[in-house]
């Protein structure tokens, strides 16, 4: 039985002060969070403040990126050692905004995945096709490629602990989500690919989220699906009440599954 996981990606939103306001409004619902794992990935500047408040609670802290070197002359980058020091448990890697705006390649993302594990940070590896790739019938090919290259040479015991987020690029921040059936179909295929190419037990154990315009009104539909274990949430995670509603909806959806 895979524990559902809902992760907030604040992207480049929220000052430290706005982060504080979110925390003050976000209910620390112990019972709910024992059933649904919750992680928040704030901006780097808000990591310390958010992390201090959630330390010793059930809310985990995540970063939105790392540079795959412990320290050095890499102006503007952030080291895994620094993220660990602030209490991060997770790190988002391969987000489509980094792949497409900052031209990150699968082999560079693979270096980051390896580096994350070396520092006991669990990667949330994002994969997904663009609209053009979807229209050309390439969804499967793109996802397989991103998984195989992104997860090359990772130990199976590590693979089972990480999180994969299937995020069709056309659904991110657009308000147009994939239907629950479409997401389930692709995520089931991703699980098969992992089973055939990496490891059967990993395919069973690995949590795979859907991401792309998830809101309180559609989370239940996704969570009713057998292969969907949670959501990576951007826009709707910026308000404490809507993020909390999504977490409640995630539990509700799994109960109705």
Tell which one of 9, 79, 110, 146 touches ligand PEP (CB under 6 A): 9
* Closer Cβ to ligand PEP, 11 or 207, answer by number: 11
- Classify residue 53 as left (phi > 0), alpha (psi -120 to 50) or beta: alpha
- Find the binder of ligand PEP among 94, 216, 234, 253 (CB under 6 A): 234
Residue 235 lies near ligand PEP (rule: CB under 6 A): yes
Out of 36, 144, 232, 250, the only residue in the binding site for ligand PEP (CB under 6 A) is 232
CB under 6 A: which stretch of 14-22, 129-137, 212-220, 249-257 binds ligand PEP? Answer: 212-220
**Separation of alpha carbons 203 and 103, rounded Å:** 29
214 binds ligand PEP (CB under 6 A): yes
Is the Cβ of residue 10 or residue 54 nearer to ligand PEP in the bound state?
10
- The structure tokens 């990496």 sit at 198
Confirm or reject binding of residue 233 to ligand PEP (CB under 6 A).
yes
Q: Which of 68, 80, 211, 249 binds ligand PEP (CB under 6 A)?
A: 211
Q: Which residues are catalytic?
A: 95, 167
**Shortest distance, CB of residue 193 to ligand PEP, whole angstroms?**
21
173 contacts ligand PEP (rule: CB under 6 A): yes
Residue 39 touches ligand PEP, criterion: CB under 6 A: no
Under rule CB under 6 A, residue 172 binds ligand PEP: yes
Q: How far apart are CA 144 and CA 148, in angstroms?
A: 6
Between 69 and 242, whose beta carbon lies closer to ligand PEP?
242
Which residue, 117 or 166, has its beta carbon nearer to ligand PEP?
Answer: 166
Output 183 or 194, the one with its CB closest to ligand PEP: 183
Span 66-85, contacts to ligand PEP by CB under 6 A = none
Beta carbon of residue 221, minimum distance to ligand PEP (angstroms, whole number): 15
Q: What angle do CA 23, 13, 222 make, to 5 degrees?
A: 75
169 lies in the binding site for ligand PEP (CB under 6 A): no
Contact residues for ligand PEP, defined by CB under 6 A: 9, 11, 167, 172-173, 211-214, 232-236
């Amino acid at each position: 039985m895979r524990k559902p996981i809902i992760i907030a990606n604040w992207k480049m939103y929220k000052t430290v002060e706005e982060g504080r306001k979110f925390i003050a409004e976000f209910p620390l619902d112990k019972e709910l969070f024992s059933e649904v794992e919750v992680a928040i990935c704030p901006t780097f500047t808000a990591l310390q403040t958010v992390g201090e408040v959630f330390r010793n609670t059930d809310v985990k802290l995540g970063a939105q990126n790392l540079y795959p070197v412990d320290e050095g002359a890499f102006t503007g980058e952030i080291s895994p050692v620094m993220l660990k020091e602030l209490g991060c448990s997770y790190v988002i890697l391969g987000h489509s905004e980094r792949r497409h705006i900052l031209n990150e390649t699968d082999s560079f993302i693979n270096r980051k995945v390896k580096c994350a594990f070396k520092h006991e940070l669990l990667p949330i590896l994002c994969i997904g096709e663009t609209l053009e790739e979807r229209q050309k019938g390439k969804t499967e090919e793109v996802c397989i490629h991103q998984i195989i290259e992104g997860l090359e040479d990772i130990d199976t015991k590590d693979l089972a602990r990480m999180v994969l987020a299937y995020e069709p690029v056309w659904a991110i921040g657009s308000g147009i989500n994939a239907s629950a059936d479409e997401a389930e179909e692709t995520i089931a295929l991703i699980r098969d690919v992992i089973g055939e190419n990496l490891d059967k037990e990993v395919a069973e154990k690995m949590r795979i989220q859907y991401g792309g315009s998830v809101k309180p009104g559609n989370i239940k539909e996704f969570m009713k699906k057998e292969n969907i274990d949670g959501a990576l949430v951007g826009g709707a995670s910026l308000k404490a009440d809507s993020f909390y509603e999504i977490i409640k909806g995630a539990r509700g959806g799994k109960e109705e599954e």
